[in-house]
């Protein structure tokens, strides 16, 4: 249902986010989502991507922070109307705010992330995106 151009755009945004290849590539992808005007058709796809990735990677705090940043860029883009898809984006963001365990503990064999990043920063960023989504 999407044009080849939009599918390519979606891939060019999600690939650096998923692979975290370089901070510059991720920042460039975030910047594009925050300003581009012709991506309204991709909003449901981005929201589904963010939701699925947060739920599947809830123990990976740095990755979840990147996903929350992506959600924030969608919310802050003045050219997009996300109201119809907001009900799909709010639950994973709320999970990032109130989840009991956002960090996977290290077990006896050393498996798990242990450090996992700053879960308080993730909670604060997700709360900020929620506030912006409600204000928009």
pLDDT at 98: 92
Distance CA 130, CA 86 (A): 10
pLDDT in tens, 14-40: 999 998 778 999 999 999 999 999 999
What is the DSSP track for 8-35?
HHHHHHHHHHHH---HHHHHHHHHHHHH
pLDDT over 60 (residue 113)? no
The answer to whether the CB of 92 falls within 8 A of the CB of 55 is: yes
pLDDT in tens, 85-107: 999 999 999 999 998 877 766 55
Q: Which position has the token pair 């109201």? A: 83
Q: What is the pTM of this model?
A: 0.88
Distance CA 10, CA 28 (A): 13
Return the percentage of the chain with pLDDT > 70, whole number: 89
Confidence band (pLDDT; 50, 70, 90) for 110? very low
- For 3, the token pair is 């044009």
């Amino acid at each position: 249902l999407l044009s080849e151009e939009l599918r390519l755009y979606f891939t060019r945004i999600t690939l650096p986010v998923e692979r975290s290849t370089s901070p510059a590539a991720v920042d460039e992808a975030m910047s594009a989502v925050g300003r581009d005007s012709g991506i309204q058709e991709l909003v449901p796809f981005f929201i589904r991507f963010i939701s699925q990735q947060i739920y599947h990677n809830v123990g990976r705090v740095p990755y979840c922070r990147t996903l929350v940043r992506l959600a924030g860029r969608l919310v802050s883009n003045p050219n997009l109307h996300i109201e119809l898809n907001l009900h799909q984006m709010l639950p994973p963001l709320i999970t990032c705010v109130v989840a009991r365990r956002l960090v996977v503990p290290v077990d006896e064999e050393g498996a798990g992330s242990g450090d996992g990043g700053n879960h308080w920063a993730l909670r604060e960023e997700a709360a900020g995106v929620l506030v912006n989504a409600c204000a928009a």
